[in-house]
Structure formats: C-alpha cells, structure tokens
Amino acid sequence: MRDETPDARRQTPHEPAAALFREVLSYADDNLVLAQRLSGWVASAPDLETDIALANIALDHLGVARALLAHAGEIEGRGRSEDDLAMLRSEREFTNLLLCELPNGDFAHTITRQFLFDAYQLCLWELLSAHSGATLAGVAAKAIMEARYHFRFSSSWVVRLGGGTDESHRRMETAIGDIWRFVDEMFEDDPNRRASWSRLIDPVLAEATLEKPAQVHQRRGGRQGIHTEHLGHLLAEMQSMARSYPGVAW
Amino acid sequence: MSADQLGPDQRGPARFEALLEAEDKIEPTDWMPEGYRQTLIRQIAQHAHSEIIGMQPEGNWISRAPSLRRKAILIAKVQDEAGHGLYLYSAAETLGVTRDEMLAMLHSGRQKYSSIFNYPTLSWADMGTIGWLVDGAAITNQVMLKRCSYGPYARAMVKICLEESFHQRQGYEIMLTLCRGTDQQKAMAQDALDRWWWPSLMMFGPHDSESTHTEQSIEWKIKRVSNDDLRQQFVDMTVPQADFLGLKIPDPNLSWNEERGHYDFGPIDWDEFWAVVKGNGPMNRERIEHKRQSWEEGAWVREAAVAYAAKQLRPKHTRFAS
Amino acid sequence: MTYSVPKVAGEAEMTVGRDEATSQWPMWEVFIRQRRGLSHVHVGSLHAPDAETALMSARDVYTRRVEGVSIWVVPSTEIVASDPDDAEAFFGSIEKPYRHATHYEIPDEVGQM
C-alpha cells in the first residue's frame, strides 16, 4: 500500500527502497502479464500483418518487463533475477492491474484492453521519464516511444472496428462493457492522471462512434495481490517449466 | 538470330530461354511458359504455407518458455516465420494468384505445406531440435534457392536468408544448454533428437529417381540441387554437431564412409513419409484446423476494416499520438 | 526456412478458384528510406485495408531489423510499369558514349578532372 502521495514520492531524492521496489515491480508485472496474454495471438491473428504487429507489441511489453524486473531486483538487493521474480512468485505476490490479466477474448476485447492500457502507459511513462532515479527514467524514456506506437495501433483498430460493420461495432460495445469495470484501478495511485488519460481516449471513442458505459461497479485489488481467477491459470502455464525443473539453466 | 528476325510469338520464348541460359532472372512481366508459372506458384505458395503452419509447433511453447529470454527469442523467431510467409506470398502474387486464393487452397487441402510441421512439440527440447535440425535442413536448401531463376522468389530468399541466421543458432544454443545441464535435461534433449531426426531427413523429399518434375524444375533453374544431394549435405553437416553435444543420432546404420567422403545412413521409412504427406501424420488435422479456425474467426475483423476504408470519402491520416 | 513438398501421384493440378477469394485487403508496395541521405528503396509488398494501416504494417513487417527514417506505401495498382516487350526500344538506344566521362581523353599532366 502506498503511504506517500504520488508527487511527494517522485520529488523525494532518496526513495525508501521498499516502496520503490514495489512500485517498479507493479509496472513490471503489468507488462509481463500483458506480454504473456498478447503472445497468445501468435499464429492465431485475423491476418498475417496483424499477427506480426501483435507479436511486436508483445515483445515491446516483454522488453519493458524484463528491464523493470532486473531493476526491481537491484533495488531489492537480494540477488533475485528477472526469472526468479517472473517464475517463482506466487499469484498473491503479483501486483499487476487486473486489466492486464483479462483473457484475450475476441479481437475486440484484445484491442479494447490494449487501447485503454496504452493510453494509461503513455501518461505513466511521460511522468516517469522525469523520475529522480536514472534507471527508471531511462526505461520510461524508451518505453514512451513504444507506447506512442502502441496507442496509434490500438486507436486505429478501435476506430476501424467501431466504425466498420454492425457486427464489429456490436463486438466493440460488448468489449467495452466487459472491460470498463477494470478502468478505475489504473488511477487509484494518482487520480490526477485520469484527466490526461481521458483526453487521449475520448476523441478516439468519439470517432469510433463508441460510448463510454455509464457508472459501472469497479473491480480493484491487483496492486494488493488480490486478482481475478484468471491470473492463477496464466501463471501456472508461464511458470510451469521453472517450477518443474527448479534451479536449472535454460 | 536477333530479336528483330523473330516473329512476335517466338520473341517471348526465345527471350525466356536466353535469360535462363545467361543465368539472368525472369521477372514478373516477362513471358514464361505456363508450366513454369504453375510450378512456381505451387512451389512458392507451399513454401509460404510451410512458414505459416510452422509457426504453430513452436508457438505451442511460447507461453511455457522456461525463461524470459527464451520467451522473447521464441516470439521473435515465430514472428520472423510469419514475415517469411508474407514475403513468399508476395512473391507468388507476382505470378497472378492472390493471397486469399492461396489461403483458400491451403485451408481446403488443395495446396500443402512441408510435412515436418505435422509432428507435435512435446517438450521444451523440441524447440532446440526444431531450430537445430529443421532450420538446419532449410538452410541447406536456401543457398540453392537464392539462385532460383525467378527474380521475386530469389529476392525473397535473400531476405529470408539474412533473417534466418539466428534461427538455427538459437536452436543449437538450447541444445547445448540442455546437454550441459542436468541428467533430466540431457535426457530431454536426446528424446527430442530421437523424435525429430528422421522427419528432418524426410524434409528433403523422396529420392530423385522417384520425384516427378525434378528434371523440369532443374531445366527451368527453379531447383538447382537434387534431393539426395541436399540430404547428404545435411547429414554430413549435422553429425559432428550431434557428436559435439554428446547426443546419439537414432540410426544404427550411420557411419563415416572414407571412400565416399560422406556419412552413410540408414533407410528412410517412406511409408511414414507418404502417409504424412497424404494427410495422415500426427498433427495434420490439428494444424489445418487451427489455421482455418483462426481465419474464420478473424473474418469479421477483416470485413470491418474493408467496410471502414470504403466509408472514408478521401484517405486521411489521423494522428492520435503526438 | 525452405521446404520441398513432393507431388502425390494423382494429385490434381492447382486451379485458381476466384469465387473462393473473400473480399481481401488491397496490396501495397513498400519503399523505405533507411537513413537520411539515401533514397527510398522498394523492399516488398503487403496487404492492408487502408493507407494508415499499410504504413503501420510496413513498419512492423519491414523495419524489424533494418532502420528506417521514412516509409512510403503505394497501392500496387498505382504502379505504372514499362512493358518488357518494349524494353529494347525503350532502353536499347540509351547508349550514347559521349554522356560518359571515360569517352574523353584528358592528358594526365592536366591533373584530376
């Protein structure tokens, strides 16, 4: 749990290591879990070009996750590697946003999840590229380039699916309806960020002729390690080799 | 005889023969015999299909890759295969067939793909053997195809070769790590080799004496080296690599022949080969079914994009991120 | 990867079934300027429903290893090509030796020219 305000945390020259460790780990987990989800589209996408695009995005998220996991391990100072953190923590120790662990569903669900998260990360990396910690700032500065491209890609599909056929519009409405209750969690750290996020997504939804759902009861808990039932299965698969053959090199 | 002296019907065929003779490339708008065109369409399309279907056996292990580095490498490799399929479909399209038509033929079983991909990937070590053996076999073939007479196919092969270099290396690195690891890991590696060795040899196709069309393909400079020669090349290259790993190739007849300067190896089970080619291999149905299902489930997406594009009165470039 | 797929005896010759082709995405030719100072070079083609998607796909498909500072995508139908039958007439008389520097003899004493 955060015991400092977000702004104070960023301006303090000497971060309490534990809080920073938890923060960096949560961003790592977002990207790791989402990379795992996205890579499920490989060899299954609607067309070849989209297959290649989704794999690119998955690799970007995985790259960010690895950089942040390594950094988290350094901060922690107990010698845990990126793989120790990824493969040996339990579900209750993962602190990703619930949004990231949602199943792929159909392409509309995947694109909606991506779109909402891309806008969130775009705002986040912008903020973190001014972080007092050089490593985190560096990761953020690189990640923001990728996030811009991801947002362009996911926005482009939101518009095409929203404004395409009756069926694609209907599927997008369903996807937004299913996913909207995981949105608020993105801003529980910093409600101020929601305004910039809305400024990014609103015009796109408008162009896509899609509406934001009315007030929906929001699910939370990811940052506290209280997940949906999806994460357990995701981790069981992702961690299966490391847990079956503990301590060996691959 | 100069071009001026030829009648209009003779100019095309004469130029075609002259280009082949001079080791020049045939380009898309050149005259070509209909048989040449059809042979190339079939060969390039099936090569492309092989890349695409080949994504599945390896894709099967992305979610369970034992480390993040291996996961990243595997995603990148499978993504490359998608790209290679794309380059090849593009090359085939220069011959007057569309990508959708080729996919329809893949889905209906009228066009095929390399039978190696009809085997299941049952352990992590299979990722090693696929990279080491299957990509190794492909590379043996590749150098030859860069010299193919048809320009777009040859150029696609040059691009593919450039990207291919890490594929075999990452597979062999997986094998090395396993063989230097625990007894369990080494056993995993040996088991994978036991299952993938013979299918890899079958990748080169039947003996040339039994292969129809080899002669014509060689005359047209589509095929530059015989199946048996390529297979021999592969065995000679691979045996020392297996020795280095400390793994045993599952062939009791494998032995170095000093006279020939090559390895002798045992007979291939052609019954298994033809069974798999005809659709009765372990994973034939699943591979095509997966491909067909993904295509069908994605139809609404492709249609939506077409509908959206049609609605735009003028193409506009919308920038969402600054 | 490179594969041969043997022909099965009795297998029907491939026929192109146009009625089976769904409404597909048009084809685009892709040109990439790798670095400032270089020209755009044709790198291949891809399918996309519109220009914006074609640009993004070109970036995803063709710049994974090769750097790119600028991408052009052109609908393949917009490419106008010279006719190979006219190649001799079109290109044949281009040889005008007096356009080339080597046609001219300049004494060495004159220096670099």
Residue C21's pLDDT band (cuts 50, 70, 90): very low
Over residues A96-113, mean pLDDT = 98
Tens-digit pLDDT profile for residues B103-117: 999 999 999 999 999
The residue of chain B nearest to residue C27, with distances taken between CA atoms, is B90
Q: Which of A103, A117, A105, A109 is nearest to A60 (CA)?
A: A117
Q: What average pLDDT does the segment A61-80 reach? A: 97
Q: Give chains near B: 3+ CB pairs under 8 A.
A: A, C
Percent of residues, chain C, with pLDDT higher than 70 = 69
Task: Flag whether residue C80 sits within 8 Å of chain B, measured between CB atoms.
Answer: no
pLDDT surpassing 90 at residue B123 = yes
Q: What is the pLDDT of residues B277-305, one digit of tens each?
A: 888 999 999 999 999 999 999 999 999 99
C34 interfacial to chain B (CB closer than 8 Å) = no
pLDDT at B314: 52
Per cent of chain B over pLDDT 70 is 94
The predicted structure's pLDDT at residue C112: 74
pLDDT higher than 80, residue B224 = no
Q: Which residue of B has its CA nearest to A111?
A: B301
- Residue from the list B99, B211, B303 with its beta carbon closest to the beta carbon of C6: B211
CA distance C91 to B313: 40
Query: Residue C49's closest chain A neighbor by CA?
Result: A160
Q: What is the pLDDT of residue A9?
A: 46
Q: Does A3 reach chain C within 8 Å, measured CB to CB?
A: no
Question: ∠B257-B261-B263 over CA atoms, to 5°?
Answer: 50
User: B85: which chain A residues are within 8 Å (Cβ-Cβ)?
Assistant: 48
Residue ranges covered by each domain of chain A: 10-244
Q: What is the DSSP letter of A41?
A: G
**Residues A205, A155: Cα–Cα separation, whole Å:** 8
pLDDT given at position C92: 65
**Which residue of A lies nearest to B320 if distances are taken between CA atoms?**
A152
* Contact (CB, 8 A) for B111 and B41: no
Q: Quick check: B312 and A139 in contact, CB under 8 A?
A: no
pLDDT digits (tens, 9 = 90+) for A145-154: 999 999 999 9
Chain A residues inside the 8 Å CB shell of B63: 36, 39-40, 237-238
Beta carbons of C7 and B213 less than 8 Å apart: yes
Q: What is the CATH number of domain A10-244?
A: 1.20.1260.10
Confidence of residue A138 (pLDDT cuts 50, 70, 90): very high
Give dist(CA A38, CA A153) in Å, integer: 14
CB atoms A49 and C49 under 8 Å: no
- Contacts (Cβ under 8 Å, ≥6 apart) of B113: B46, B49, B50, B52, B53, B54, B106, B287, C3, C5
Question: Does B217 score more than 60 pLDDT?
Answer: yes
Query: Under a CB-based contact definition with an 8 Å cutoff, are residues A22 and B54 in contact?
Result: no
Q: ipTM surpassing 0.85, yes or no?
A: yes
Q: Do B297 and A106 touch (CB under 8 A)?
A: yes
Q: Cα B295 to chain center, whole Å?
A: 21
Q: What is the pLDDT of residue B2?
A: 56
- Where is C30: in which H helix or E strand? strand C27-33
Considering CB atoms only, which of C1, C17, C46 is closest to B50?
A: C1
* Position B318 confidence tier, pLDDT thresholds 50, 70, 90: low
Cα–Cα distance measured from residue B178 to residue B245, given in angstroms and rounded to the nearest whole number: 9
Comparing CB atoms, the residue among C6, C14, C51 nearest residue B110 is C14
Q: What is the pLDDT of residue C85?
A: 67
More confident residue, B163 or B132: B132
Which residue in chain B has the smallest CA separation from C18? B101
pLDDT > 80? residue B176: yes
Residue, of B209 and B193, whose pLDDT is higher: B193
Q: For residue range C60-94, what is the model confidence (pLDDT) as tens digits?
A: 999 987 777 899 999 999 999 887 666 666 666 66
Collect all residues of chain C within an 8 Å Cβ-Cβ radius of residue A47: 25, 47
Task: Quote the mean pLDDT of chain B.
Answer: 91
Chain C touching partners, 3 or more CB pairs below 8 A = A, B
Query: Which residues of chain A lie closer than 8 angstroms to C49, CB-CB?
Result: 160
Question: Which among A49, A149, A160 has CB closest to C46?
Answer: A49
Check if the beta carbon of residue A17 is closer than 8 Å to that of residue A75: yes
Taking a C-beta distance cutoff of 8 angstroms, is the pair A182, A99 a contact?
yes
Record: contact C52-A156, CB cut-off 8 A:
yes
Of B38, B79, B112, the CB nearest to C5: B112
- At B129, list the tokens: 């053997």
Query: How far is the alpha carbon of B121 from chain C, nearest alpha carbon, in Å?
Result: 18
Neighbour-count burial for A99-111, b at 16+ CB within 10 Å, e otherwise: bbbbeebbbbbbb
Cβ-nearest to B308 among A69, A155, A160: A160
For CA atoms A26, A28, A31, A37, give the dihedral sign: negative
DSSP state, residue C39? P
Residues 6+ apart with CB under 8 A from A228: A98, A101, A102, A219
Ranking A69-78, B14-23, B301-310 by mean pLDDT, the lowest is B14-23
**DSSP output for B9-24:** HHHHHHHHHHHHHTTP
Name every chain C residue with its beta carbon within 8 A of the beta carbon of A42: none
pLDDT greater at residue B162 or residue A143: A143
- Which candidate from B67, B82, B322 shows the least CB-CB separation from A83? B67
Other CB atoms within a 10 A radius of the CB of residue C99 amount to 8
Kindly identify which residue of chain C lies nearest to residue A157, measuring between CA atoms. C53
As a whole number of angstroms, the distance between CA B88 and CA B86 comes to 5
Q: Which residues contact B181 (CB under 8 A, 6 or more apart)?
A: A248, A249
By Cβ distance, the residue of B52, B55, B308 closest to A164 is B308
Of A49, A149, A156, the CB nearest to C47: A49
Residue C18, pLDDT score: 37
Q: How far is residue B270 from each of residues A174, B231, B234, B273, measured CA to CA in Å?
A: 52, 15, 18, 5
pLDDT higher than 80, residue B259: yes
What are the backbone angles phi and psi of residue C74, rounded to the nearest 5°? -130, 130
% pLDDT > 90, chain B? 74
Tokens 């699943």 -> residue: B286
CB contact under 8 A, C83 and B116: no
- Contacts (Cβ under 8 Å, ≥6 apart) of C52: A156, B315, B317, B318
> Smallest CA–CA separation between B57 and chain A, in Å?
10
Pairwise CB contact (< 8 Å): A53 & C49:
no
Please state, in angstroms and rounded to a whole number, the distance separating the CA atoms of residues B45 and C49.
22
Identify whether the C-beta of residue B113 lies closer than 8 Å to the C-beta of residue C5. yes
Predicted local distance difference test score (pLDDT) of residue B313: 61
Quick one: which of C82, C87, C81 has its CA closest to B3? C87
CA distance B178 to B184: 9
Weakest mean pLDDT among A52-56, B27-31, C15-19 = C15-19
- Residue of chain A minimizing CA distance to B128: A250
10 Å Cβ neighbour count for A207? 15
**Chain C contact for B58, CB < 8 A?**
no
Question: Is the CB of C1 less than 8 angstroms away from the CB of B134?
Answer: yes
Q: What pLDDT is stored for residue C101 in this prediction?
A: 77
**A124 CA to chain C: closest CA distance, Å?**
24
Q: What is the pTM of this model?
A: 0.90
Across all residues in chain A, what is the average pLDDT? 94
Looking at chain A, which residue has its C-alpha nearest residue B184?
A245
Looking up tokens 């990937």 gives B121
Chain B nearest C-alpha distance from A12 (Å): 30
Mutate which of A48, A49, A148 to disrupt the C interface (most C C-beta within 10 Å)? A49
Kindly tell me if the per-residue pLDDT of A225 is higher than 50.
yes
User: Nearest CA of chain A to the CA of C21: how many Å?
Assistant: 14
Residue C52: pLDDT band by 50, 70, 90 thresholds?
A: very high
Q: Is C5–B114 a contact, with Cβ atoms under 8 angstroms apart?
A: yes
> At A177, is the pLDDT very low, low, confident or very high (cuts 50, 70, 90)?
very high
Q: What's the whole-number average pLDDT of chain C?
A: 78
Band (pLDDT 50/70/90 cuts) for residue B37 is: very high
Is the model's pLDDT at B1 over the cut of 60? no
Contact B277 C8 (CB under 8 A): yes
A213, A179 contact by CB (below 8 A): no
Task: Find tokens 């005809």 and name the residue.
Answer: B278
